[in-house]
Structure 1
């Protein structure tokens, strides 16, 4: 779960160019970064 938090935090710090490289918009990144750390796919909770 800590890894998810770190990834979402890093995602929120990316600039528009890096987000575009990932196929994401700033709104997409903000939405994902705003999700709680426990909100992950069930397959990740093993």
Structure 2
């Protein structure tokens, strides 16, 4: 998921967001290089 917000300078900033353990995390899209989707998660 990605979201856009407006910075104080007026420029739009896009974020990649992820819900992990019930918490929402965001990272500026300019910092994202690769996105991997796990095929299967094994509980250890």
TM-score range, shorter chain: under 0.3
Q: Specify the structure having the higher radius of gyration (Cα).
A: 2
TM-score, normalised relative to structure 1: 0.22
